[in-house]
Structure 1
Amino acid sequence: MSTNRPPRMTKGRSFVQQLVLVFFLVVLWVMLWDSVSLMHILSGIILALVVTRVFYLPPVVLSGRFNIIHALNYGLWFLYSLIHASVEVAWFAFRPRAVGAGSVIACDLRTSSDLLMTLVADTASLIPGSIIIDSDRAMGVLYLHVLDCDSQEKIISAKAQVYHIERLLILALGSHRDLAALKVNPDPIADEYGDVR
């Protein structure tokens, strides 16, 4: 007699994951319209259901953990970085000295989660002065263009910021595997550049 049955909660988890995906697609749809109305929400729900049923989407694997303290820490850090970088980029437009050359940098992330990789990429792109130009999902590498990044110190600083974003997100909602990867490699900059900081 075979006992190889699927877990009892698989369907329930699948439904919850589908519901989360639909919710975020509706939020994205409403944000694209830049106004909240009943028509936008209803059309977003219909469109999200069509997209999730008709098109193939890779499964969004949720870690099953969420730490509110680390999530608040991430939110406050992001708000501070957003304001600080906005002022810095605005200063580049007004200062008499020319802006230094930009650089394309590669950041080899510690997480293997598609969701966390996307959140790291989104966060890094939302902070003025850097934008994601490519990613290697299989290898977990993000490629960013960073403004005024013409020295090794600035390159190290830009990479350190991406790794800090990744660390904050792993602590907030990463899986136990991500947390273990964080412990194994707590400082990727030191591994890559040694003590040159």
Structure 2
Amino acid sequence: MSPDTRRGALRRVWVQLPFFVWLVVLWMLLWGQFTVLAAVTGIVMAVFVTSVFRLPAAELSGRVNLWYGLVFVAIFLVELVRGALTVAWQTVSPGLPGTAIIRVPLRVDDDLVMTHTAVAASLIPGSLVVEADRENRVLYLHVIGVRDTADVDRQRRSVQRWEERAVRAVGSRAALALIRSGAAPYAERQTQEGGGR
């Protein structure tokens, strides 16, 4: 094996290692056991899943900001509780809460950031991603508790802030620069570039 081939193989292993570790942790969470046996069987299952059900490799940015990662998790936990209390209140208050399907254009062309954003938006009670347009980087969410266009705009901005937090935590330097510059949504930029040719 040539040194270049070996370096390429090591890089692929290093890039996929977080996903592999997450599969093992997920296996242990499913069984509710954090034991050596659960870890070993988790490793066996992770090897099986990654070798039999091969998915396209997700490219990591190579940049992780631990501070913003902790901020992401802390804000997520606070919003999780707040969302649960809001939905609980809406279920016992008189009248039906308004609902809407809203379109949320994202700014960054990155699968991992889009996934983090969609998962955060879906796990917080009161909203659920019903469709993800990967090509145009647009999420469509079903939300409850919407009374007017101001509520729709507030929800849209909330999801875009999740995108910003994800970029600050694990996004590439180019994505971070894009967020900091206040760039237009990805689909809008693509339309402008296509129209300018």
TM over 0.5, yes or no?
yes
Deviation at 1:187, TM superposition (A): 7.2
CA deviation string 1:54-110 (max 9, x = no partner): 22211121111111221222222112211111111111121123222x111121211
Note the residue ranges of structure 2 that are not aligned, 5 or more in a row. 189-197
TM-score, normalization by structure 1: 0.83
TM-score, normalization by structure 2: 0.83
CA contact 1:109–1:141 (8 Å) conserved in 2? yes
Q: Could you say which residue in structure 2 is the equivalent of 1:19? A: 17
Superposition CA RMSD, Å? 2.2
* Selected match of 2:54 from 17, 39, 56: 56
CA deviation string 1:95-147 (max 9, x = no partner): 123222x1111212112221111111111111110111111222211111111
Higher helix share: 2
Q: Structure 1 residues 7, 157: closer, same or farther in 2, change over 3 A?
A: farther
CA contact 1:108–1:141 (8 Å) conserved in 2? yes
Counterparts of 2:89 and 2:16 in 1: how far apart (Å)? 44
CA contact 1:124–1:132 (8 Å) conserved in 2? yes
Q: Could you say which residue in structure 2 is the equivalent of 1:42? A: 40
Amino acid paired to 1:180: A
CA contact 1:103–1:150 (8 Å) conserved in 2? no
Note the residue ranges of structure 1 that are not aligned, 5 or more in a row. 192-197
Stretch deviating more after TM superposition (89-98 or 38-47): 38-47
Counterparts of 2:184 and 2:79 in 1: how far apart (Å)? 20
Q: Could you say which residue in structure 2 is the equivalent of 1:74? A: 72
Task: Count the aligned residue pairs.
Answer: 184
* Selected match of 2:173 from 151, 172, 176: 176
